[in-house]
Structure 1
Amino acid sequence: MIHLLSENFLLLLFLVAGIGYLIGKIRIKGFSLGIAAVLFVGLAFGALAPSVELPEFCHLFGLVLFVYTIGLSSGPSFIASLRSGGLRENLFAISVLISVGLLVVGLKELFEFSAGIAAGIFAGSTTNTPALANVIQYLREHISANSETAVKLFSEPVIAYSLCYPGGVLCVIGAIYVLQRAWRVDYKAEMQTLAQETGETGTLTTLTVKITNPTVADTTLGALRQQHHWGVRFVRWLHHGHLQLAFDDARLQPGDFVNMIGSPEETRRVAAFLGEVAPRPLEDDRSNLDFRRIFVSNPEVVGKTLAQLGLRERFEARVARVRRGDHDFLPNGNTMLLLGDRVRVVAPKDRMEEVSKFFGDSYKALSEVDIISLGVGITLGLLLGLLPVPLPGGGTFKLGIAGGPLVAGLVLGAIGRSGTIIWSIPYSANLTLRQIGLVMFLAGVGTRSGYEFASQVSDPSSLLVILSGAIATTFSAMGALFIGYKLLRIPMGRLIGIVSGIHTQPAALAFANEQTGNDMPNMGYTAVFPLVTITKILIAQLLISLL
């Protein structure tokens, strides 16, 4: 059996992935490992023999694919977060890592670890491969490979990393599970609160109002919306018996009817100010204006804002709402459309076919991936990861294959398009590539670390290393969750993504996504990942050079 698995890495990959998925679906009192179970199944298989491991290409390719697709989908939200609370979150994450570094220094003095072991504990407990790679590079540059102690010094960080890495994953997942249960977090309620603040929601409703408030006479809809901070989108307007689209320059009169979309609470608030709820919805009248949900598959409209598309000038049409993935949200003039979005368009009945053709409306096209843009984007990310960045006092660090593609994905995702190149990937295709990458990464890391972990775990000195790693991970995860949720009031859904980002841990992120059922963890993860990766590299190098 061992020989069979050693000689057939594809069989090993699919066996680990299949069993991991099966175990991940098992729920015990509401807890399940989800896709993170692939990592632990990989550790179990890898422990069988040193030859039972997947090629290094497997987890490297999976990691690049995973972080790049995460970056692409989260680019716009990452840029937006830096303009709002993103700076605070990054400072918070960096403070947590500095605290972990100081804790590791204390554990080194307590248990008399070497500097190499301490650096390995830090990299392993925060599950950061680029930090470990930079430590090894530093040792190679400052220690002669021919010296008697070279082999030991080079192996110490790697062994400590492999011993602490599994606990670094499990302790983060455990901390998230325990505290979310203890605090009885309602992720759906958090998402609804976020929806009210950003306009995104899964519970949009349509309401028609008869204007009875005389104070709104001759006031434009745009002015009213800005003056009262209404989080709704006006769609139809019945004025003197003529049904037309409700653009911002429409001037209301008592007796008019207006149709709007928003959350149930917000539409009721607006209706109470404007007048009274009409008994018959305007959308029931499709004699003049029709509506249709259309897939965005035309590359020409992707990466452009609704204002740039000029739908009013082209077709006298209006986008009422946008559905991205499983979530509906209200658009505005600055909303940038992505491949795979579904837009609800209201337009004159005789022009609806033109509008559909303009957006594309091809489901087949959405299942295809532009290999050129994907290949160019990942290549740029890998090249960015290879660039050496000088550090104060000598030495360099690199973003590596994890940080480079992620940063490239974030930037390209925020840009949207460059000339004829569309950087974004259809939502469904992005999820598929992301899942494949994550499975390959977890299976590869698990099988390649399993034997070393199993062979070292029984050594008494190794137990101290494992314990130190578990202490560091638990301290950082529990501390970050408590401070972030209780003191900084960060929504738990976003916070567990931030904590996963602090530990640069895809398995923890996958678990967080399964717990919330929405994209809030992804937004938190990508908001801190780039700076966190750089900070870990710096701290690990300081540990090996100063201790």
Structure 2
Amino acid sequence: MVGVLEFLGDQPLILLGLLIALGSAAGRLGIGGVSLGPVAVLFVAIALTALGTTYDVTLEVPELLGSMGLALFAFATGILAGPSFFTTLRSAWQVVLAVAGILILAAGAGAVVGRSLGLNSEAIAGAFAGAVNNTPALAAAGGTPQATVGYATAYLYGVVAMLFVTGLAVSRGERDRDTPAEITDLTVRVEGDSSVSVADLRHRYGDRLTFSRVAPNAHTPPEPVLEDTRVGPGDLVTVVGPREEVEACCRELGHASSHDLTRDRSSLDFRRITISDPRLAGRRVGDLDRDLGRRFDAGITRVRRGDVDFVATPDLMLQLGDRVRVVAPPETIGEVSRVLGDSSRGLTDVNPVALGVGFALGLGLGQVAVPVPGFGSVMVGAAAGTLLVGLVMGRLGRVGRVATTLPHTAASVMVELGLLVFLAYAGTRAGSQIITAFTDGEVLNLLVTGAVVTTTVGIGVYTVMRWGFKVGRIRLAGIVAGSHTQPALLAFANARTGHDPRVALGYALVYPAAMVVKIILAQLLVVL
């Protein structure tokens, strides 16, 4: 045993691979239908490192690898959340302030309990950092031996308790108010006495609907719907969009027809085509739609990103790897495929220019010190810096001729890879301190203090977000993970929801503010 541990201690890359393999295998084991997923890597790393400590063998994944994994995870998470983040932030800034208030309350509760148990300021600050699983907060607290022991003692409960809260958020009921609506299509027979512009109908329904085919009657082959198309009495038109809006439009125009225009593929065909030409990344559907309509009498009706279908609204920004549903004449649909690329490479092209530039800018931003009155300055940090840059690049999509985003599939792979590396690193850091923490005389007091902090954050965020802000369960899981700034929780939520994009959106919404608030609070706890 000692020989094996010493070998792993001398070969950190082999140790990293072993931890990822064993942790991932353990994460697939289900108990009562629930499995830990990638977060099991963290617990395997803690256990194996603690075992090495008992034999005086140091097992550690290099800090450089851990930092790279965390930065990769944060940047890719920002890329995934960027297209929706700023829109959501404008309507949900109150959520960010609420999370900050809950963290302040938790720090105050921890200070009161810690003082009553006789702990000094450094130990309390360390317990707070461990309870909220935030290593930069430990550094802000000075990283002294007392703070480090407090951090290690509270860390494990901080992970386990918040895993429970995240699982509770994901599993509460089947209904979710922000679940994307099912996309459907319906052939409508127009009634009434006058014609109406398709452009006006789109505007009337907030661009949530699109129209793919039109025909004057059931015996005439359908034609593509163009920008200036009008529909009048007796016309058949195919409406595409969320079911409720499609049904409302049907009631407004006339009634559902027994004749389905989509079944007639003699004059118009449809095909799912992958966006793989880098020149199209970051372009709006409306711009591309006009170009395809002018050149090929073709139109885009739906966009599939990951496992989610979207209506092809004019303002929707396309990403490499998106699979668009195109309606076009059979003789031109092949040309449309060549224009869009239609290569599986579009799913996995990492766009190395955007990745390299974003990584460098994010790490550089992480070195910026932000002055905070009364506390000196606070470093943005590599994780927050790369996340912020990823959010901006994901939102921009394109700067001039350069695409700033990554394919959804490639970004998702980067999130998981970065998480696995970081979790292995974090586990070896915590595991090496666990034995010391549990043999220290103050371990029980530190555990209680940390538990108060973690429980306050968990119950506070869950309660306020669910009942106060009425946040849907999927996004709530992401907000819980983001408020704790714990990648393991994001991995767990992603595993439970099949990488639903709302998880990453909730995480990115509160993560930057939570990171900064925790660092400031740790410094404040030291000086109190």
Q: If the TM-score is normalised by the length of the shorter chain, which range does it land in?
A: over 0.9
What RMSD over aligned residues (CA atoms) do the two structures have, in Å? Answer: 2.0
Task: Establish whether residue 97 from structure 1 lines up as the match of residue 103 from structure 2.
Answer: yes
How far did residue 113 of structure 1 move? Answer: 1.6
Q: Partner of 1:362 in structure 2? A: 343
- Alpha-carbon distance in 2 for matches of 1:252, 1:418: 38
Provide the secondary structure at the position in 2 that maps to 1:286: coil
Match of 1:296 among 272, 275, 283: 275
Find the residue that maps to 1:361 and give its secondary structure: coil
Residues 230 and 266, structure 1, Cα contact 8 Å, conserved in 2 = no
* Preserved CA contact (<8 Å) 2:215 2:236: yes
Shift of the alpha carbon at 1:444? 0.9
1:235-269: CA deviations, max 9, x gaps?
11113646322245422211100001223443333
1:366-398 CA deviation, whole Å, 9 max, x = no partner? 333222321111010000000111111351111
> Could you tell me how far apart the structure 1 residues matched to 2:228 and 2:314 are?
14
Cα offset, 1:226, TM superposition: 3.6
Residues 128 and 394 of structure 1, relative CA distance in 2, 3 Å threshold: closer
How much does 1:179 deviate? 6.1
Give 1:156's aligned residue.
146
Matched with 1:148 is none
Structure 1: distance between partners of 2:206 and 2:14: 58
- Name 1:352's counterpart in structure 2: 333
Q: Counterpart of 1:185 in structure 2: which amino acid?
A: G
Aligned residue among 372, 383, 405 for 1:402: 383
- Please list the CA deviations of residues 170-211 of structure 1 after superposition, one character each: whole Å capped at 9, or x if unmatched: 110022335665xx422xx32xx435xxxx44x422211111
Residue 14 of structure 1 corresponds to which residue in structure 2? Answer: 17
Task: Sort the Cα spacing of 1:236 and 1:179 in 2 relative to 1 into closer, same or farther, 3 A.
Answer: closer
Structure 2 match to 1:167:
157
Out of 183, 208, 218, the residue aligned to residue 187 of structure 2 is 208
Residues in 2 aligned to 1:228 and 1:338: alpha-carbon distance in whole angstroms: 25
Deviation for aligned residue 1:230: 7.8
Q: What's the counterpart of residue 224 of structure 1?
A: 201
CA distance in 2, matches of 1:320, 1:100: 48
Which stretch shifts more, 496-505 or 157-166?
A: 157-166
Residues 111 and 79 of structure 1: CA distance in aligned 2, closer, same or farther (over 3 Å): same
8 Å CA contact 1:128–1:536 kept in 2: the answer is yes
| Cα pair 2:375 2:523 within 8 Å, conserved | no
Contact residue 223 and residue 248 of structure 1 kept, 8 A: no
> Is the CA contact 2:190–2:236 (under 8 Å) kept in the aligned structure 1?
yes
Quick one: structure 1 residues 448 and 230, their matched pair in 2 at CA, closer, same or farther if it must change by over 3 Å? Answer: closer
- Give the equivalent residue in structure 2 for 1:305: 284
Q: Determine the structure 2 residue equivalent to 1:28.
A: 31
Q: Deviations over 1:337-393 (max 9, x none)?
A: 001100001123332222212211111343332223211110100000001111113
Tell me, yes or no, if the aligned pair for 1:175 and 1:474 is still in contact at 8 Å.
no
Partners in 1 of 2:354 and 2:214 — Cα distance? 42
For 1:365 and 1:251, the matched residues in 2 are separated by 36
> Match for 1:118 among 113, 124, 127?
124
Count of residues paired in the alignment? 516
Distance 1:458 1:394, change over 3 A: closer
> How far apart in 2 are the matches of 1:274 and 1:536?
55
Residue from 245, 260, 263 that aligns with 1:284: 263
Q: Is the 8 A contact 2:274 2:346 kept in 1?
A: no
Larger deviation, residues 50-59 vs 87-96: 50-59
| 1:321/1:329 contact within 8 Å kept | yes
State the Cα distance separating 1:57 from its structure 2 match: 1.8
Q: Which residue of 2 aligns with 1:77?
A: 84
Query: Which of 141, 150, 153 does residue 135 from structure 1 map onto?
Result: 141
Q: What aligned pairs does 1:216-295 form with structure 2 within 5 A after superposition?
A: 217-227=194-204, 231-239=208-216, 241=220, 243-247=222-226, 249-295=228-274
> Counterparts of 1:234 and 1:62 in 2: how far apart (Å)?
44
* 1:94–1:535 CA contact under 8 A, matched in 2: yes
SS of the residue aligned with 1:449?
helix
Of 178, 183, 186 in structure 2, the residue corresponding to residue 194 of structure 1 is 178
Q: Which residue in 2 is equivalent to 1:108?
A: 114
Give the deviation of 1:419 after TM superposition: 2.7
8 Å Cα contact 1:287/1:349 also seen in 2: yes
Q: Does the 8 A contact of 2:170 with 2:496 survive in 1?
A: no
Cα 1:434–1:176, aligned 2, differ >3 Å: closer, same or farther?
closer
3-state SS, counterpart of residue 466 of structure 2: helix
**Gap change, CA 1:365 and 1:343, over 3 Å in 2:** closer
Rounded to whole Å, the distance in 2 between the matches of 1:479 and 1:260 is 44
Query: TM-score when scaled to structure 2?
Result: 0.93
- Structure 2, unaligned runs of 5 or more: none
Residue in 2 aligned with 1:526? 508
State the partner residue of 1:58.
Answer: 65
Bigger shift: residues 426-435 or 346-355: 346-355
Aligned to 2:369: 388
Give percent identity, aligned residues only. Answer: 37
* Mapped partners of 1:226, 1:334: distance in 2: 12
CA shift, 1:481, in A, is 0.6
Residue matched to 2:173: 185
**Partner Cα separation in structure 1 for residue 100 and residue 42 of structure 2:** 27
Contact 2:152 2:437 in 1 (8 A): no
Deviations 1:448-485 (A, max 9, x none): 22021122213330221122112211121122112211
Separation of aligned partners in 2, 1:130 and 1:417:
33
- Taking the aligned partners of 2:425 and 2:27, their CA distance within structure 1 comes to 17
Measured at CA, do residues 178 and 284 of structure 1 come closer, stay the same or move farther in structure 2, by a change above 3 Å? closer
Matched residues in 2 for 1:228 and 1:416: separation? Answer: 26
Normalising by structure 1, what TM-score? 0.90
Unaligned runs of 5+ in 1: 137-152
Task: State yes or no: 1:472 paired with 2:453.
Answer: yes
Partner of 1:147: none
Q: Distance in 2 between matches of 1:289 and 1:83?
A: 41
